[in-house]
Structure 1
């Protein structure tokens, strides 16, 4: 269980941050960039929840919790020495749950006729914003994976999450009926 008695420690004043393992790294380290981007994604989803109905809020709440799991995993790099605890990781079942939610929401949507502009209802707009942050988180994690170990379920989760957020944003626009569509060359 996490216990935070003091919010500031001054240990980061020199430009480093501690990982779960106790290792300190520069705040601009790719691993910390990934952790921070996942945190930003979580905050964007929290904002979207302000506009969600009960069913969507329940899904987004679960996703926020999963993102803390992902952040914990990213903050615990694999090392040569075994850890004195079982590190938290994203499980394949979390990816499976996202896929099932995508399929359920997508089944209620009409096929796309054009690219969708990130607009429409407040919920849809916030979900689209979260989707773009999810895509950035994925890019940052892929960059990290070229340098250090990043588990496949973690990468799959963030990839599926951006898909979920896209489908959820369409769903939030009247199940796709009130989408704002791109009109190629409209303003030439």
Structure 2
């Protein structure tokens, strides 16, 4: 390719390339779209499921941030620790941890198993279950990175169909969360 070629551009990388292949061409699309990702958990300091979920989620966002920028979508991330039974009802928490994108739960079915680290946060080590993650035929105690990348990428590509919603508060919590909050060693409240 030479400078006389109509498809050639001189870009920041100091080479002559077609615009579609230039790695430094400004392809970012201006947009005011936002994808809000929220991790809700009953504990982010000791739970052996919530902590790795947060780490994997941050890694997935790090991987996909350049894609979001190219698509003109702002990625927003928030971690919310749910401290009380009332807070859990208000936030419509069905299981911990929960990941929501624009207010939508990313996993519709709740599957749980014993979480010894959360059980140790209750009086008398009452058995507490935390969310399991089902991906490609296997069950995981925290979501694998490829699963999170797929979920977020799908949301980025379908952002126009994923309008922000607010969860309707729950009248009753699932029994597992009721047990946790009623027996928590560290009863806290937000505010």
TM-score band, normalised by shorter chain:
under 0.3
More strand by share: 2
Tell me the TM-score normalized by structure 1: 0.28
Greater C-alpha radius of gyration: 2
Tell me the TM-score normalized by structure 2: 0.27
More helix by share: 1
